[in-house]
Amino acid sequence: MDFEALKKYSALHPKPAGLTLQYGTAGFRSKAEQLDHVMFRMGLLAVLRSKAVVSTIGIMVTASHNPEEDNGVKLVDPLGEMLHPSWEEYATQLTNAEEQELQKIITEICQKAAVNQHKDASVFIGRDTRPSSETLSQSVIDGISVLGGQYHDYGLVTTPQLHYMVCCQNTQGQYGKATLEGYYEKLSKAFTELIKQSPSSGESQRHLKIDCANGIGALKLSEMEPYFPKEVLVHLYNDGTKEKLNHLCGADFVKVHQKPPRGLDMKPNERCCSFDGDADRIVYYYKDATGHFHLIDGDKIATLISIFLKEQLAKVGQTLKMAVVQTAYANGSSTRYLEETLKVPVHCVKTGVKHLHHKAQEFDVGVYFEANGHGTVLFSKAAETKIRQMAKEEKDDEKREAAKVLENMIDLINQTVGDAVSDMLVIEAILALKGLTVQQWDAVYTDLPNRLLKVQVADRRVIDTTDAERRAITPPGLQEKIDALVKKYKLSRAFVRPSGTEDVVRIYAEADTQENADALAHEVSLAVYHLAGGKGTPPQP
């Protein structure tokens, strides 16, 4: 390893004094001007990771739904999954190292992770549309090059597209072709096959208004439009030509504020959806005849997909095990509907996509979504092989047709990560095949009223949780207090958890009425303030 060259190049990407960052679920995120050294060093780390696993690694430059002036970076592991937790630790160490420690830390990583210096390294790079992304991805390239790695720069892509390319590359094309055309062709072919089967329900059914968060989703959807069958009429809004990324728009804005984005005018009962800034989350919504806004979040998306897959699996008659994975934030009504009405097992895990993805891998068919609209479906190798075999060879017509539908679903779903484009096509196909309107979908169950709050604390680490973050173990007395408060309200539950990113404690409460959910959330926030070292003035109702 050429440590002289490393020293020379590293000096061109100096670390700001006193800055420390932590690699979390979303990789690194910060103000764009603080990230030059991080990008260079993540280029270095990707080369080491690639040599360690002898596979192509991905690097995505994006800060997703954060404001336009922020940026970030995350690494993608060989099968398109998130970076292995032990390497998250290395990423943090390498980023925070002082200039003179770089060589030592790289040597330590190589020893700990058994990095074979003689192997070739290959890295795929992608970036979002932020003004800072191009310069920052150049810093990534500097890092890759100084350690002699090969790279392919895909330029502007959605985050899920980069995950897809990495998976295609490392499965030697079994998952698909590692090009944008390959991605568009695979998805549009599966989608076209699926909607061929749909009872034609008039033109109006196929109109969909999409808020692209003024981000990369708009660019990639316009590229993909020629591949769509003519029945699909998508109308793009917030396409990035006029306004700022994520400003008063995008999936996160719509979910948090429970209102439509700026720049999209909604007529009653029109189907609309929003992507986030890097197109890995999606939420749907509509206005009813009285002008009331209805949000259809990740829980309801998971439910629609589960209903459909369960019907198809019943038709093929295979004993394939299906389950839904949620977090504590999932609305109680969705959990109740899935378990009691649909009779599908539901598993609750800690917040964070990697926990959901990991749990979903335990089943033949694992559906996972966070309430924020990030999610996908995983099929086990055995289930996929069985389904593809039946689609080809099954003699019974009904079973074979159902297997073909499932086979196209497998091809339409991006199994590497939540993908707004893929999820949107899955939802559109299911609504078409079942002849459902957006209102009928929304009416499957009624969400329990809920409220999210946060309380500032001196140190978020005083709160420790168990049972997938649904119960607090410390500070003493807090959980007992929450239990007593919950007993006062009907259909209620509440939990608290420390934020992953700032010194705040997040509070979630739900109950039979909005008034009760608000009251419960407020009472729990007071308990947190008093028992967990709240800062500033006590929470006001």
- Cβ atoms of 40 and 140 within 8 Å: the answer is yes
Distance CA 417, CA 414 (A): 6
Distance CA 278, CA 159 (A): 6
Query: Between 456 and 2, where is the model more confident?
Result: 456
Backbone torsions φ then ψ of 359, nearest 5 degrees? -65, -40
Per-residue pLDDT at 279 exceeds 50: yes
Mean pLDDT across 21-47: 94
Mean pLDDT across 214-231: 94
The verdict on domain 3-156 having CATH code 3.30.1360.100 is: no
**pLDDT score recorded for residue 489:** 97
- Cβ atoms of 366 and 250 within 8 Å: the answer is no
Distance CA 441, CA 344 (A): 18
Let me know if 64 is a catalytic residue: yes
Mean pLDDT across 176-204: 87
**Which of 255, 246, 288, 290 has the alpha carbon at shortest distance from 271?**
288
Mean pLDDT across 242-263: 94
Secondary structure string (H, E, C) spanning 333-386: HHHHHHHHHCCCCEEEECCCHHHHHHHHCCCCEEEEECCCCCEEEEECHHHHHH
Distance CA 70, CA 134 (A): 13
Mean pLDDT across 212-237: 94
Residue 276 labelled as part of a binding site: yes
The CA–CA distances, whole Å, from 86 to 57, 125, 477 equal: 15, 22, 34
**pLDDT grade, residue 500 (50/70/90)?**
confident
| Mean of pLDDT over the chain | 95
- Cβ atoms of 494 and 509 within 8 Å: the answer is yes
Domain boundaries, the chain: 3-156, 182-295, 298-419, 450-532
The CA–CA distances, whole Å, from 459 to 216, 472, 503, 532 equal: 37, 15, 6, 8
**pLDDT score recorded for residue 200:** 66
**pLDDT score recorded for residue 256:** 86
Residue 372 labelled as part of a binding site: yes
Amino acid identity of residue 232, one-letter, is V
- Cβ atoms of 499 and 351 within 8 Å: the answer is no
The DSSP code for 460 is G
- Cβ atoms of 65 and 213 within 8 Å: the answer is yes
Token digits of residue 394: 């099954």
76 - beta bridge partners? Answer: 58, 82
Q: Which residues, 6 or more positions from 115, have their beta carbon under 8 angstroms from its beta carbon?
A: 48, 51, 52, 109
pLDDT tens figures, 354-413: 899 999 999 999 999 999 999 999 999 999 999 999 999 999 999 999 999 999 999 999
Supply the Cα-derived Rg of the chain in whole angstroms: 24
Amino acid identity of residue 1, one-letter, is M
Cis check: omega of the bond before 475, within 30 degrees of 0: yes
Token digits of residue 401: 């047709």
3-class state of residue 208 by DSSP: strand
Residue 127 labelled as part of a binding site: no
Per-residue pLDDT at 204 exceeds 50: no
Residue 370 labelled as part of a binding site: yes
Per the listing, tokens 């079994």 go with 174
Residue 137 labelled as part of a binding site: no
**Which of 322, 308, 317, 307 has the alpha carbon at shortest distance from 396?**
317
Mean pLDDT across 407-424: 98
Per-residue pLDDT at 201 exceeds 60: no
Q: Which of 64, 198, 334, 422 is catalytic?
A: 64
**pLDDT score recorded for residue 516:** 97
**pLDDT grade, residue 318 (50/70/90)?**
confident
Mean pLDDT across 505-513: 96
Per-residue pLDDT at 501 exceeds 80: no
Per-residue pLDDT at 23 exceeds 60: yes
pTM over 0.85: yes
3-state helix, strand, coil in the chain (%, to 5): 45, 20, 35
- Cβ atoms of 524 and 494 within 8 Å: the answer is yes
**pLDDT score recorded for residue 424:** 98
**Which of 380, 375, 330, 382 has the alpha carbon at shortest distance from 357?**
375
**Which of 102, 36, 39 has the alpha carbon at shortest distance from 74?**
39
CA dihedral 400, 401, 404, 405 (to 10 degrees): -140
Q: Which residues, 6 or more positions from 121, have their beta carbon under 8 angstroms from its beta carbon?
A: 46, 47, 48, 50, 51, 57, 144, 147, 148, 149, 150
**E-strand stretches of 201-329:** 207-211, 233-237, 272-275, 282-287, 293-296, 322-327
Q: Which residues, 6 or more positions from 479, have their beta carbon under 8 angstroms from its beta carbon?
A: 471, 472, 473
CATH pick for 298-419 out of 3.30.450, 1.20.272, 3.40.120, 2.60.40: 3.40.120
Residue 497 labelled as part of a binding site: yes
Per-residue pLDDT at 16 exceeds 70: yes
Look at the domain 182-295 and name its fold.
Alpha-D-Glucose-1,6-Bisphosphate; Chain A, domain 3 (3.40.120)
Given this chain, do its domains 182-295 and 450-532 carry the same CATH topology?
A: no
Distance CA 468, CA 457 (A): 22
**pLDDT grade, residue 330 (50/70/90)?**
very high
**pLDDT grade, residue 508 (50/70/90)?**
very high
Backbone torsions φ then ψ of 198, nearest 5 degrees? -80, 145
pLDDT tens figures, 75-108: 999 999 999 999 999 999 999 999 999 999 999 9
**pLDDT grade, residue 205 (50/70/90)?**
low
Residue 185 labelled as part of a binding site: no
Span 450-532 CATH architecture: 2-Layer Sandwich (3.30)
Mean pLDDT across 22-32: 90
